[in-house]
Structure 1
Amino acid sequence: MKFEGTERYVATDDLRMAVNAAVTLQRPLLIKGEPGTGKTMLAEEIAAGLGKPLIQWHIKSTTKAQQGLYEYDAVSRLRDSQLGDDRVQDIGHYIKQGKLWEAFESEEQAVLLIDEIDKADIEFPNDLLVELDRMEFYVYETGRVVRARHRPIIVITSNNEKELPDAFLRRCFFHFINFPDKATMRAIIDVHHPGISQNLVAEAMETFFDLREIPGLKKKPSTSELIDWLKLLLADDIPDEVLKNRDQSKAIPPLYGALLKNEQDVQLLERLAFMHRRENR
């Protein structure tokens, strides 16, 4: 069974090839790309497209690799022993399974998403090397070896906030999601807003791509932000003529809060508008 994309997710030929190559090689698929290009959603759609359960592990700055395997709650066991609880005789009551354990013991092959791995400590990826290679780990408290019933399809996303170790990269199949071209973007919009006015799409896309080309933007608007912006334009019933005949001396598009995410970029556009007005006096 090969991944071909889904009705909700427009996958390019290169992306489909990367997913299927990672599945064939039985290696984690490492996905990078601009925020908002659908990296996290890809894992959800792989699971949907292949009809497999999805297990999601969202990484934070405080996340440790051990948490993906299991956690031993020694404090609860000590408290229960002080209270005379009979459960203290079985240490298994105090072992909390992590997401890797859950994926390893799934009744069928699962899709495991390790989301934003670069948020964690630099040693986090290396701490998972053995487990991802051997598909097993040892539970010291119980003396049990947990082995994967089925090797999960592993999708790892990164926003490039930190460089990942070479030893970890060597074990992954890598794919960078390029920012969609205009044809692909139209297909994505059609998925999210079927039946939308093509004139509105054309004008919105022109404004959007022009905005991304402005030098000095701290954060360029992404695909997800364009989808949100179109939703607002539709909700407010803003005609496409407003975008087509937009006054360049004002520079900032209507409902810009869906596209611009910090005051520096707003101020940059305001300065550009001011310069445009001066040039046309």
Structure 2
Amino acid sequence: MTARFDGTTDYVSTDDLTMAVNAAITLERPLLVKGEPGTGKTELARQVASALGLEMIEWSIKSTTRAQQGLYEYDAVSRLRDSQLGDERVNDVANYIRKGKLWQAFEADHKTVLLIDEIDKADIEFPNDLLQELDRMEFHVYETGETVRARQRPIVIITSNNEKELPDAFLRRCFFHYIKFPDHETLRQIVEVHHPGIKRALLDTALTQFYELRDQPGLKKKPSTSEVLDWLKLLLAEDLDAADLKRDGASALPRLHGALLKNEQDVHLFERLAFMARRGR
């Protein structure tokens, strides 16, 4: 029977996101998840693993990451050093093969969730270099002559912040889902998971200010879901209520705005708005 994801008590999954996860599982295709940073893409993989009772193997991609590292790496330098020292380990090349995250997922005796996180950080050729391995669920180790095949096909979840376009050939092999920024009601549910019992008046006022801030034209970086959760955590820690969030007109910035605005251009934007509002009185 095919495993099915129905969300968890710690993660609010919309109907279309739940459908996308289960479609990818059924098709045995990688699930490519795009969306703004901070919308829960990485956390989705963790929650899928938790809900299905599976081990998660996480491969975090950097700008310097090569696709080969996900398969294996051959440490020729160590082998040369050991040969100079007369170490008997040099007789077996397998001693110098370091298994990558895909190899770990492929050799697992049980099904796993393999997260390839922020694939768009890598070189443009990176996704193409993994096409065959993710499609066939196998790869060849040239140094030992062996072929590594997946014992249990892992559930592959790939995240992207949309920083660069991914190749068409790669996209064809994935089931795609874009996580839209949550609407007011969905965000309220997410907040309730992280801050249960938060006062309704405080939450209403805070979310109103948050969406007004996000919708401000000219904003360089819109605050994300994770940032509004941090902001609310600070408001609760300071024991503030709805009345404390009211702005007096001297500033267009919300209280503790450093949790929401992360660059000086956006702070200056709201300072200018407040200045113009005062001049217009």
Q: TM-score range by the shorter chain?
A: over 0.9
Deviations 1:132-152, CA, capped at 9 Å, x for gaps: 111000000000000000110
TM-score normalized with structure 1 length: 0.98
Q: Which 4+ residue blocks in structure 1 deviate beyond 4 angstroms?
A: none
SS at match of 1:203: helix
AA paired with 1:190?
Answer: E
SS at match of 2:86: coil
Select the residue among 143, 151, 155 that pairs with 2:145: 143
The CA distance in 2 between the partners of 1:110 and 1:44, in whole Å, is 11
Query: How many pairs align?
Result: 279
Select the residue among 210, 217, 223 that pairs with 2:225: 223
SS at match of 2:148: strand
1:166 aligns with 2:163: no
What is the CA distance between 1:248 and its match in structure 2?
3.0
2:275 aligns with 274
Runs of 5+ consecutive residues of structure 2 not aligned to the other structure: none
AA paired with 2:205?
Answer: E
AA paired with 1:238?
Answer: L
Deviations 1:83-140, CA, capped at 9 Å, x for gaps: 1111111111100000000000111110000000000000000000010111000000
1:112 aligns with 2:117: no
1:36-115 aligned within 5 A: 36-115=38-117
What is the CA distance between 1:249 and its match in structure 2?
3.2
1:2 aligns with 2:7: no
The CA distance in 2 between the partners of 1:52 and 1:171, in whole Å, is 23
AA paired with 2:60?
Answer: H
SS at match of 1:5: coil
What is the CA distance between 1:49 and its match in structure 2?
0.7
SS at match of 1:125: helix
AA paired with 1:257?
Answer: G
Give the CA RMSD over aligned residues: 0.7
1:253 aligns with 254
What is the CA distance between 1:174 and its match in structure 2?
0.2
Runs of 5+ consecutive residues of structure 1 not aligned to the other structure: none
What is the CA distance between 1:203 and its match in structure 2?
0.7
The CA distance in 2 between the partners of 1:204 and 1:248, in whole Å, is 17
The CA distance in 2 between the partners of 1:156 and 1:125, in whole Å, is 10
SS at match of 1:57: strand
